[in-house]
Chains A and B, each alone.
Chain A
Amino acid sequence: MTNNEGIALEARSLSVWYGEFLALRNIHLAFKRNKVTALIGPSGCGKSTLLRCFNRMNDLIPSAKVEGQVIFEGRDLYSSKIDPTEMRSRIGMVFQKPNPFPKSISANVGFGLRINGYTGDVKEAIERSLRQAALWNEVKDRLNDGALTLSGGQQQRLCIARALAVEPEIILMDEPASALDPMATLAIEDLIRNLSEHYTIVIVTHNMQQAARVSDETAFLMVHEDRSGYLVEHGATQRIFTNPEDERTEAYITGRFS
């Protein structure tokens, strides 16, 4: 049950139900280490549901049931031996709407450090994370101000810094720029490109230009007639956007349906 060299995370025969409703059907998908993989597809195709399987966020929804495996470092995330709390600190998440806590900027970044019992220099770790998230220069003089005083784009970069602080190996991003203006979106996209040097990133986006700009690999999902989502095609972003194998992928990326 080990991953291939260069694979950071892998879904095997993954299906998700919400009660009786099959939301995701039998997904096989591997994510390469230190690459950005974009999940694209029409609304309702289950891309966010898939993303939330990778840090067991679906556990929080009582009716959700996951079948199949997600392999991370040779172990199945859904095996009973895995502690979701420990696992989540290693697979970070950034949400669609910027959701900093109503606390100070430094308390936001320090939150994960504190709850995970960080033994190093907290101040230094906060600065390092804010620098990584390209936010340090804008906030270094007001670390004790409320996080909600920041602009939307800054708040989202703060959320990224907050996720980075606990030093995850993988970062899951659920349409991280969809609530932001174009300038803030560009800043986030630059950041994602830079972060991929050190992190494996999975990003859900409904914006195909964004997928083309930021990702190395793209996975295209679609909705079946019974409203369940399934994987159509996965490969290098370059190839998916220029020479897709499946005609449905081509139809989607050329905007014939959305």
Chain B
Amino acid sequence: MTNNRKDQFNQKLRLRKGIAKAFYFIFLLSILIGIGGLLLLLIQVLIEGLPWLSLHFLTDYPSRHPEQAGLKSALMGTIWIMTLTGLFTVPIGVSAAIYLEEYAPKNWSTQILEINLSNLAGVPSIVYGLLGLAVFVQLMSLGRTVLAGSLTLSLLVLPIVILASRESIRAVPSYYKEAAFALGADKWQVIKGVVLPVAFPGILTGTILAMSRAIGEAAPVIAISALVYLTFVPSSPLDRFTVLPIQIFNWVSRPQEDFQGLAAAGIIVLLTILLSMNAIAIYLRDKYQGKSAE
């Protein structure tokens, strides 16, 4: 019997173990390449930028003298732009998502709308920049202002916010909605009382991640604001502005060695903002999900 079995199977155990191990190392190597590349970038930036990082770097305006230069105008510009973009995107994005998930009839026209929405989320950002330049800056004569910049970035992140909000709204279990309907709630009461509270953590996370994408975008803002050298902080939405990526780009493009250091320091500031926003997103998501899971 045992002899017979040996004839029938050629198990090649050693070869199979070898292949299993080989794949393990291929996967491990892949993740190491990813992390390694990122680490290299980070270390390079930290080595170059840290010596230039100081309080005055955050509170001073850019200058021709590297040791006096700061990014106050860009930092404040970024904050201005983010605030306005958030104010525009969240209400419109969440409302659009509610419409698509809860109200829109399921037919070919909404399907086309959905496909286009996903496509919009993948359109290169410079296209939005040129659109903003044509529509907001020129056609609507807003000029190269904070308002035009944030409207442009709103267009850029709106599809992302809508998609993320839709995902979270769709993930709300139907038995919650049924329970609310069975108590005599009308459609809006169901949405306001049950759907939105349950979807809130997901919507919040999606929105913050979309915002952090907008912060890092340079191309569309360059189209709107041009590569300016600003020594004032915008005091209204109709002022001119600059943002961190532009300031960094500006420094990088200068020949002097010192400005490369300033650029690296600017990148550190930008990364810090991005990472803290992502951390806030994760924290808030865990907090609210924990709460609803209690």
Contact = CB atoms under 8 A, between A and B. Distances in A.
Nearest to B291: A146
B68 to A, nearest CB: 54
User: Could you tell me the dominant secondary structure of chain B's interface residues?
Assistant: helix
B238 to A, nearest CB: 43
Interface residues of B, number: 23
A62 B103 CA distance: 12
Interface string A126-138: 0000000000000
B182 interface: yes
A111 B193 contact: yes
A247 B285 CA distance: 58
Interface residues of A, number: 32
Given A102-B198, A102-B293, A159 B179 contact: yes
Contacts of B181: 57, 60, 88
Interface stretch (A13-21, A71-79, A93-101, A217-225): A93-101
A85 B179 contact: no
A62 B176 CA distance: 18
Interface in B142-173: 173
B184 A57 contact: no
A101 B175 CA distance: 9
Given A95-B175, A95-B178, A148-B293, A101 B194 contact: yes
Contacts of A55: 182
A231 B175 CA distance: 28
B180 interface: yes
Contacts of B182: 55, 57, 88, 92-93, 95, 163
Contacts of B193: 111, 114-115
Interface of B: 106, 173, 175-186, 189, 193-194, 197-198, 291-294
Give the top 4 A-B pairs by smallest Cβ distance, nearest first: A89-B184, A146-B294, A102-B292, A112-B183
Interface of A: 55, 57, 60, 62, 85-90, 92-93, 95, 97, 99-103, 111-112, 114-116, 145-146, 148-149, 159, 162-163, 166
6 contacts: A88-B181, A99-B179, A102-B198, A115-B193, A148-B293, A166-B184
